Structure 1
Amino acid sequence: MKKTILVFALLILALLLLFQFSKYAVISGDLNSEVVIAIIAIVFFFIGIYLNKKSLQKRSSVLNEIDHKKIKDLDISKREYDVLIGISEGLSNKEIGEKLFVSESTIKTHVSNLLSKLNAKRRTQALQIAKDINII
């Protein structure tokens, strides 16, 4: 956390110095305002690329493997797991049923079983629990 604050503080300081330099350069007549704007745009472009690469590295390291042992421990069947994946995709019971080629009432049964196995009251709560225990 301290490193992030330090990096952003240095970034802000560098940008302020760049703005001050550009202001004095324009006032003294050494540079046109278009050149200053182009330099600032290029600096922001490279900062954006750098921050994007840093965030992508963190995102790939944050992704965890699915804990198949936990799925077995909770006694979640393959079909119930498929329904849980459908819920995580934001599908309705009817859409999950069409995707898995089963009736909507079967999906409701699977959802009910998932809620009881995950000790959840709602689908959203079940998703949060599943994410916390790394099964989706």
Structure 2
Amino acid sequence: MWRVMILYGLALAAGALLLEWLDYKHMVRAWSTELYIGIVAILFIALGMWVGNRLTPQPRGPAFERNDAAIRSLGISERECEVLDLLASGAANKVIARRLGISPNTVKTHVARLFEKLEAANRTEAIHKARTLDILP
């Protein structure tokens, strides 16, 4: 984190120094005004391209492949995987029960077992650990 902050600070300082140098050259009339306008325009174009590249979502890598080895080693059943997928989508227990055609108590049991197997204290932690293990996309 510090490295990134230092790099951004150095880039900002270099940009400010360049603009001050251009302002000085403009004041002493070293070059024509059109040249200064062109240089500043090129700087803003480059800055716009860089910011656009940073803010535009990048395409994801290859298609997601579920880590079956992790599922087997943790002992997660197929039904528990279905419950975990629906948990990750933000569904409540009653919604999960309706979609899977099971009772809400069964969903609670599956969720509790998932917490045990993933060693998680809550839904957010369970989903995070499942994503870390490539069980969820």
C-alpha displacement of 1:92: 1.5
Query: Matches of 1:22 and 1:4 in 2, distance apart?
Result: 27
Cα deviation for residue 131 of structure 1 reads 2.8
SS for the counterpart of 2:119 is coil
Give the Cα–Cα distance (whole angstroms) in 1 for the partners of residues 26 and 93 of structure 2.
63
Aligned pair count reads: 131
TM-score (norm 1): 0.66
Structure with the bigger percentage of helix: 1
Call closer, same or farther: CA 1:111–1:2 in 2, change over 3 Å.
Answer: closer
The reply on whether 1:41 has 2:29 as its aligned counterpart is no
Which residue of the partner structure matches residue 117 of structure 1?
A: 117
Unaligned runs of 5+ in 1: none
Q: Summarize the Cα distance change of 1:86–1:22 in structure 2 as closer, same or farther, 3 Å threshold.
A: farther
TM-score computed with the length of structure 2 as normaliser: 0.66
CA RMSD of superposed structures (Å): 3.8
* Greater Cα offset, 91-100 or 71-80: 91-100
Distance in 2 separating the partners of 1:40 and 1:49 = 14
Identity among equivalent positions (%) equals 30
Q: Give the deviation of 1:80 after TM superposition.
A: 0.7
The verdict on how the C-alpha distance between 1:25 and 1:132 changes in structure 2, with shifts beyond 3 A counting, is same
Spell out, residue by residue over 1:38-57, the C-alpha distance to the aligned partner (whole angstroms, 9 max, x if none): 4443232122144357x837
SS in 1 for 2:86: helix
Q: Are the counterparts in 2 of residues 25 and 31 from structure 1 also a CA contact under 8 Å?
A: no
**Contact kept in structure 2, 1:115 and 1:121, CA below 8 Å:** yes
For 2:85 and 2:107, how far apart are their aligned partners in 1? 12
- Between the aligned partners of 1:81 and 1:5, the Cα distance in structure 2 is 41
1:51-105 deviation line (CA, Å, top 9, x unaligned):
357x837x749x9743111101222111111111122222221222233343322
Q: Any gaps of 5 or more consecutive residues in structure 2? A: none
Cα distance change on mapping 1:19 and 1:60 into 2, 3 Å: farther
